[in-house]
């Protein structure tokens, strides 16, 4: 099985290209797809900084590319967008597709420790395998300059990956409507129980609110947009818990509550330019 990515589609947009690739992932034990948006290049030897987008529950690598409109400003800012899928696919683990909020499409960007879900290692896939694969196969990417953002489950994934890798290469982080404190909400409790087992100490290793309260040396402001008519706000997302933890730990956070907006890509598309600018500013320092 081929671990080297092969191009499966290419569409021009805003002067650049949305390209979709397929490869076999040794980390996950299955074939995976991801999208790269390449902005127009000023020269053949130009290298672009990269911005990872992590999607939410039920999404694939396609939703962000089709619906966010991020490519417009990524083109003018000269930033590459990377959109991975949200879980392993095609493994036929019993019950993997029984719930929309668990299993397929619901990797939660962690490394599962429970035998049944041993292939669910989206943390290692996003943090280790994918950057290495990109670095080895796409010379036009400056993979050492990388920032990360995402939506809902993926917004949380972005926050945790950033907070767990402050000493490494991640430059800046932002999130739309993140599942900000999963150990205290039904989506998170269901996923973490199944993937990580019953110990809450293990859960805290993948909880953004727990992680930020122990964070040191977060100097770049964390940008979060949240719609105040998001139907998941009060039961599942709990951004106020994350904001409180940031304040206690003296971590700079800009939490913007956007009146009237819901949890959809319509909300994301409205504010995506601000997030791209936020990351472009950090990546170009």
Least Å from the CB of residue 176 to its own copies: 13
Q: Which residues bind its own copies (CB under 8 A)?
A: 11-15, 18, 66-67, 69, 71-72, 227, 229, 260-262, 264-267, 269-270
**Catalytic residue at 230?**
yes
Cβ at position 60, least distance to its own copies in Å: 15
Determine which one of 151, 156, 263, 279 is catalytic.
263
Q: Shortest gap between Cβ of 267 and its own copies (angstroms)? A: 7
Instruction: Order the strands of the 80-84 sheet from edge to edge.
Output: 6-13, 16-25, 30-38, 80-84, 48-54, 141-151, 170-176, 222-227, 253-258
Please state the closest distance from residue 65 (CB atom) to its own copies, in A. 8
Q: How do 170-176 and 141-151 pair as beta strands?
A: parallel
11 SS3 class:
strand
Q: 16 vs 178, which CB is nearer to its own copies?
A: 16
175 vs 268 by CB, closer to its own copies: 268
> Active site residue: 68, 230, 275, 279, which one?
230
Among 152, 172, 174, 213, the one annotated catalytic: 152
C-alpha distance from residue 94 to each of 29, 55, 97, 135 (Å): 16, 24, 8, 35
Of 67 and 118, CB closest to its own copies = 67
Residue closer to its own copies (CB basis): 73 or 173: 73
Residue count (the chain): 285
Q: Is 279 labeled as catalytic in the residue annotation?
A: no
Residues 152, 263 contacting (CB under 8 angstroms) = yes
Contact 50, 80 (CB under 8 A): yes
Residue 11 or 140 having the CB closest to its own copies: 11
CB 18 → its own copies: shortest distance, Å?
6
101 is catalytic: no
**CB 79, min distance to its own copies, A:** 17
Which among 168, 120, 112 is positioned nearest to 144, based on CA atoms? 168
Instruction: Give the number of other CB atoms < 10 A from CB of residue 95.
Output: 12
What angle (nearest 5°) sits at the alpha carbon of residue 105, between those of residues 24 and 267? 120
For its own copies, give the closer residue by CB, 97 or 269: 269
Handedness of CA 54, 123, 202, 158 (dihedral sign): negative
Rg (alpha carbons) of the chain, rounded to whole number: 18
- Residues with catalytic function: 152, 230, 263
């Amino acid at each position: 099985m081929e671990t080297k990515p092969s191009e499966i589609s290419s569409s021009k947009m805003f002067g650049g290209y949305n390209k979709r690739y397929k490869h076999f992932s040794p980390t996950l034990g299955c074939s995976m797809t991801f999208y790269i948006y390449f902005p127009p290049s000023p020269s053949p030897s130009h290298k672009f900084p990269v911005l990872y987008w992590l999607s939410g529950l039920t999404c694939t690598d396609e939703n962000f590319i089709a619906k966010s409109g991020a490519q417009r400003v990524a083109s003018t800012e000269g930033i590459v967008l990377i959109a991975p899928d949200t879980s392993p696919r095609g493994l036929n683990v019993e019950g993997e597709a029984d719930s929309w909020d668990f299993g397929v499409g619901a990797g939660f960007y962690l490394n599962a420790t429970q035998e049944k879900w041993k292939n669910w290692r989206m943390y290692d896939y996003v943090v280790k395998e994918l950057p290495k694969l990109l670095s080895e196969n796409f010379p036009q990417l400056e993979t050492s300059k990388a920032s990360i953002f995402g939506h809902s489950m993926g917004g949380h994934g972005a926050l945790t990956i950033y907070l767990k890798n402050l000493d490494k290469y991640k430059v800046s982080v932002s999130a739309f409507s993140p599942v900000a404190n999963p150990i205290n909400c039904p989506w998170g409790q269901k996923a973490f129980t199944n993937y990580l087992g019953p110990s809450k100490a293990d859960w805290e290793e993948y909880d953004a609110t727990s992680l930020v309260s122990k964070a040191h040396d977060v100097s770049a402001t964390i940008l979060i947009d949240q719609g105040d008519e998001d139907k998941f706000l009060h039961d599942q997302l709990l951004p106020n818990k994350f904001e409180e933890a940031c304040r206690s730990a003296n971590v700079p956070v800009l939490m913007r509550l956007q009146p009237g907006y819901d949890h959809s890509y319509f909300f994301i598309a409205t504010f995506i330019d601000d997030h791209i600018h936020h990351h472009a500013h950090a990546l170009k320092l």
